[in-house]
Amino acid sequence: MAIDHWATAPTLHGERVVLRPMVLADVDGLRRAYDVEVTRYFLYGDSNSGPPTEESVADALASGRQVLTQVEVDSGEIVGTTSLYDMSDVHRRVTVGYTWLSQRARGSAINSEAKLLLLDHCFGALGAARVQFNVDDLNERSQRAVLGIGATKEGELRRHARRRDGSWRTTMVYSVIDREWPQVRTRLVERIAERSG
């Protein structure tokens, strides 16, 4: 029987990182990888915006998102999480987000390879026409990272959500669409090579 990729969280293998469905037992590794900066821009009221607990991991698993744990290949250590959500097989669109990485993995080839694995999955197995990224307007690091992989900035959703401190955020919307993916993929592979050298 064929796998329904729209309903089943994937396991994606790279040279530096493996993305696999999160399980409750990941909580200890997530705690070790966590620091307060990683979820600074997560939304107000989101149970996943604080240090990982059994309750927050259980909430993530029950959220309806395809929640993935990021595991470094060389060490076998958990280095973060990411998710696929707002998925529509009818409209062939998906959003990548709820992503955080340990301090040592931020800005590394691990992050770029994880995005390559996710986008290969979205445009390959899912046959997506569009992959979206939503970023807090104050999160300049994530905005640079999304632009760095070749996504296009589409616009701003003003007063779209509240931050953990209760202030209102503008959500910056970026995307990659299917016809752009071959060129974006080439750029992303080059970026990984640069960060690995």
Pairing of strands 93-101, 130-136: parallel
Report d(CA 70, CA 89) in Å as an integer. Answer: 25
pLDDT-derived band at 35 (thresholds 50, 70, 90) equals: confident
Looking at the DSSP assignment, which residues form a beta bridge with residue 171? 136, 157
Q: Is residue 105 part of a domain?
A: yes
Q: What CATH number does residue 39 fall under?
A: 3.40.630.30
**Percent of the chain with pLDDT strictly greater than 70:** 96
Q: Is residue 118 part of a domain?
A: yes
Q: Is residue 128 part of a domain?
A: yes
Looking at the DSSP assignment, which residues form a beta bridge with residue 21? 68
> Which residues constitute the domain of residue 182?
12-196
Q: Is residue 4 part of a domain?
A: no
pLDDT tens profile 75-108? 999 999 999 999 999 999 999 999 999 998 888 8
Pairing of strands 168-177, 66-72: unpaired
- The tokens for 84 are 């696929």
Q: What is the number of structural domains in the chain?
A: 1
Average pLDDT over residues 132-150: 93
Report d(CA 153, CA 133) in Å as an integer. Answer: 9
| Predicted local confidence at residue 194, as pLDDT | 86
DSSP state of 37: G
